[in-house]
Amino acid sequence: MSAAKSAVESAVESAVESAGMSSSLDTSLKRLIIIGARNLGREIYSLATQCTENGTEWEIAGFLDERKDTLEGAGYDVPVLGTAEAYEPRKEDRFVCAIGDPAYKKKYVEMIRAKGGIFTNLIHPTTIINVHVRFGVGVIVQPFCLISNDVRIDDFVTIQANTTIGHDAHCMEYCHLSAYTFLGGFVKMGRATFTGTRATVLPKMSAGDHSKVGANSLVVRDVPPGENVFGSPAARIKSMG
């Protein structure tokens, strides 16, 4: 598992350093708890079974979700443990937040953090990570992504499958990139931004905080904060629906 694994290990170390913790990683078995048991949650369950943290496999302890019956009859071998509101983190717990909407994701991340919960990164071993890439904590990267040189990925960013991030790009906290997103070089995605499937953001463009780029859209100019854009070229719309 040579290059892919060493890249993932570097990402883990980067997250540890950014969190101000010791770079001497604890390799003991951790209980992974997935916040959200809906569509993205089930995908993250699969991702977790394919990922390791510094060579140690997770024990996937279960999900936190407001609906206890969410996975009933679906064939998953781990339970819904209860709600995030009621759950009290254990010392060995590590969390990942599988909620697609950035605002809701932030709500539940802050809820668990306030109880002392620790978040981890899940980065698929097929990810290509070039040199000088910096990761925050709570980052999710699904299979077959490319993250080019000198990219900065802040806390709680989600990068879905087959996404490409060009050199010197910056994805700020709670940014969500749907599958097949393409970000050109020097692109800046603001806090809690969202791209739909196959969205393209041309080099040096920026998307302001809380803005959304619709599926299959082509961004050729900066997107103001809070704005929704759709189309090719992307133009302002009232709502994503």
DSSP secondary structure letters along 119-181: B--EE-TT-EE-TT-EE-SS-EE-TT-EE-TT-EE-TT-EE-TT-EE-TT-EE-TT-EE-TT-
At 48, phi and psi to the nearest 5?
A: -65, -35
- Name the amino acid, one letter, at 110: E
Report whether 44 contacts 96 (CB < 8 A).
yes
179 pLDDT tier (thresholds 50, 70, 90): very high
- pLDDT at 17 exceeding the cut of 50: no
20-121 classified as CATH 3.40.50.20: yes
3 pLDDT tier (thresholds 50, 70, 90): very low
Q: Give pLDDT, residue 175.
A: 99
Q: Give pLDDT, residue 2.
A: 41
Q: Give pLDDT, residue 72.
A: 87
- pLDDT at 10 exceeding the cut of 70: no
Q: Give the separation between CA 32 and CA 5, rounded to whole angstroms.
A: 19
The pLDDT tens digits for 49-64 are 998 765 666 799 999 9
Q: Which residue has the higher pLDDT, 87 or 68?
A: 87
**Domain boundaries, given as residue ranges, for the chain:** 20-121
30 pLDDT tier (thresholds 50, 70, 90): confident
Of 236, 209, 210, 169, nearest to 219 (Cα)? 236
Q: Are strands 228-230 and 235-237 parallel, antiparallel or unpaired?
A: antiparallel
239 pLDDT tier (thresholds 50, 70, 90): confident
Q: Give pLDDT, residue 22.
A: 37
The rounded Cα 172 to chain-centroid distance in angstroms is 11
- pLDDT at 161 exceeding the cut of 90: yes
- Buried/exposed 49-62: b ≥16 CB within 10 Å, e otherwise: eebbbeeeebebbb
The least confident of 46-55, 65-74, 87-96, 124-133 is 46-55
Of 147, 141, 191, nearest to 166 (Cα)? 147
Give me the chain's average pLDDT, please.
90
Burial group, residue 209, by CB count within 10 angstroms (0-12, 13-18, 19+): middle
**Cβ-based neighbour number of residue 64 at 10 Å:** 25
Share of the chain above pLDDT 90, in %: 78
Q: Which residue has the higher pLDDT, 57 or 197?
A: 197
The pLDDT tens digits for 106-120 are 999 999 999 999 999
Q: Give the separation between CA 3 and CA 44, rounded to whole angstroms.
A: 23
